Amino acid sequence: MTPQQPPTKVFVTAMTGSAFLPTSGIRWDISPNRGPEVSYETTSGTNDLPTTAKRGLSANERAERVFVNKARAAAITKGRQRLAKVIEKRNPGYRSLSALRLAAGLSQTELAHKMSMQQPNIARLEKTPGDPSLSTLQKLAKALDVDIAQVIAAVEATKKGYAKDV
């Protein structure tokens, strides 16, 4: 019995697919001399990589879709307000900036729009407020429709870590 020679090439094919890319195969060509080589095969038989497909909706498209449907927008606002009540029960006596925002039924993006700011600035303010300027505190109070004293108390509670969000 003669020993068999190892194959010079081994082909392994794996199938991939998702909601964003067509079902396709990735083929690994494993050669003992050169190492693995990868080729991409779509079901159409071409070896071209697919162009980057658009994945889902952008934040603006999603917000527009929500607010076109008034019942859906009202349900989301009501849900935010219920979440604010849960946060308030969990932290009696202390309200964070995010709890004030949720009680007003606003998202960070909506609050930023009302204050003529960017959403990341609102997120940063809610997480680590530092020492916001008087004008920022006034804009917050106006946008949230609360007294400026509540906003200052929320900033202090957030800075000291008294108020824990859900």
- The CATH number of the domain where 106 resides is what? 1.10.260.40
Give pLDDT, residue 23: 47
Q: pLDDT band for position 153 (50/70/90)?
A: very high
Domain that holds residue 32: 10-42
Which residue did the predictor score with more confidence, 98 or 35? 98
CB atoms < 10 A from the CB of 67, how many? 12
**Do the beta carbons of residue 103 and residue 81 sit within 8 Å?**
yes
Is the residue at 3 inside a domain? no
Query: Hey, what are 56's tokens?
Result: 């889902």
Amino acid at 53: A
Give pLDDT, residue 2: 60
- Same domain? 31 vs 110: no
Residue 126 and residue 36: Cα distance in Å, rounded?
A: 50
Query: Hey, what are 89's tokens?
Result: 């029960």
The residue among 46, 10, 2 whose CA lies nearest residue 25 is 46
The residue among 99, 95, 132 whose CA lies nearest residue 117 is 132
Q: pLDDT band for position 6 (50/70/90)?
A: low
Is the residue at 26 inside a domain? yes
Residue 83 and residue 92: Cα distance in Å, rounded?
A: 14
What total number of domains does the chain contain?
Answer: 2
How confident is the model over 79-130, as pLDDT tens digits? 999 999 998 898 888 888 999 999 999 999 999 999 999 999 999 999 988 8
Give pLDDT, residue 53: 59
pTM: 0.60
Is the residue at 57 inside a domain? no
- Same domain? 104 vs 152: yes
pLDDT, the chain, mean: 76
Query: Hey, what are 37's tokens?
Result: 């080589």
Q: Is the pLDDT of residue 142 over 70?
A: yes
Is the residue at 146 inside a domain? yes
**Do the beta carbons of residue 107 and residue 161 sit within 8 Å?**
no
